[in-house]
Amino acid sequence: MPKVMCLAIPVRVISIEGDEAETDIGGVKRKVGIVLTPEVRVGDYVLLHTGYAIGVIDEAEAEETLKLLEEIVSHIEVHRRVPK
């Protein structure tokens, strides 16, 4: 059986209305479902996967993950510019 990996991205919650939260990552805002994370509060970071917050994480962990994702993107961009 092939191994499957899922990716969840940390996003900051900027408002909550019912079972949805408006989130922000790098200026991009998106509404996400929060039925799986009823404890979430405005200002928290959540892990976003397929339109749903699947967990609340602390700010330090979120910032570290976002930093690593930026490094990966930078690495990919550099390699795209190198002629083969």
Q: How confident is the model at residue 84 (pLDDT cuts 50, 70, 90)?
A: low
Rounded Cα gap, residues 42 and 10, in angstroms: 14
Domains of the chain (ranges plus CATH)? 9-81 (2.30.30.140)
Q: According to the model, what pLDDT value does residue 82 have? A: 58
Q: According to the model, what pLDDT value does residue 27 have? A: 93
Residue-wise pLDDT for 19-64, tens only, equals 999 999 989 999 999 999 999 999 999 999 999 999 999 999 999 9
The full 3-state SS of 20-76, as one line of letters, equals: EEEEEECCEEEEEECCCCCCCCCCCEEEEECCEEEEEECHHHHHHHHHHHHHHHHHH
What is the percentage of the chain residues whose pLDDT exceeds 70? 93
Q: How confident is the model at residue 77 (pLDDT cuts 50, 70, 90)?
A: confident
Q: How confident is the model at residue 3 (pLDDT cuts 50, 70, 90)?
A: confident
